[in-house]
A and B are shown apart, each in its own frame.
Chain A
Amino acid sequence: AQSVSQHNHHVILSEAASLELGCNYSYGGTVNLFWYVQYPGQHLQLLLKYFSGDPLVKGIKGFEAEFIKSKFSFNLRKPSVQWSDTAEYFCAVKELDSGGYQKVTFGIGTKLQVIP
């Protein structure tokens, strides 16, 4: 079965620091990859997604992620975080089987706290 690992459960950074959140998955077939963000008191929102093509994808609010197929990884990065980036970040992997069925598995989430 598919599994998604987010290595850092709680990250604390100062404003302007660089961010990298790790995400690894176990499925060896075709996947679509997502990062979602949940700001305090708000619902899950899509940050960025990878379907195919350029493995470096750019999302909203200056976030980007790189798909490295050989490492089964899809790490999220941002060069300079802001206090408003304080939120919980979820990596998600959609596996695509031959029958056309698509199942989405989420990581446990990483809570990011940015200190002004």
Chain B
Amino acid sequence: KAGVTQTPRYLIKTRGQQVTLSCSPISGHRSVSWYQQTPGQGLQFLFEYFSETQRNKGNFPGRFSGRQFSNSRSEMNVSTLELGDSALYLCASGRQVESTDTQYFGPGTRLTVL
């Protein structure tokens, strides 16, 4: 079974630009969560989608948004990029059918904002 895939793997942008990251979950998984990983803050929860609906959102500004498609693939968008947005963005998928469900992580997209 293929794992979680994220594209692109690396991205360089400049301040003020916007970026869209993509995540394809494991086949059959309907939940997709996004995290920002930085050396100083660790993994911080961005948002979670389940069956095309956002179920929860972390404490990030409105510049961070996302969506999920009917095939469970998810995209995350960051508008008006700031230097502090440089991070590894991780996507995790899960079935989320039961409370004992486990998340499986993708390799991440490394975003560098210059």
Contact = CB atoms under 8 A, between A and B. Distances in A.
By DSSP majority rule, is chain A's interface helix, strand, loop, or mixed?
strand
B66 interface: no
Interface in A79-100: 90, 94, 96, 100
B33 A46 contact: no
Nearest to B33: A104
A105 interface: yes
Contacts, number: 46
Interface of A: 32, 34, 36, 42-46, 49, 51, 90, 94, 96, 100-109
Contacts of B90: 43-44
Interface residues of B, number: 23
Nearest to A43: B107
Interface of B: 33, 35, 41-45, 48, 55-56, 90, 92, 96, 99-108
Contact of B55 (A43, A94, A101, A108): A101
Contacts of A100: 99
4 closest A-B pairs by beta carbon, nearest first, are: A108-B42, A106-B43, A44-B105, A43-B107
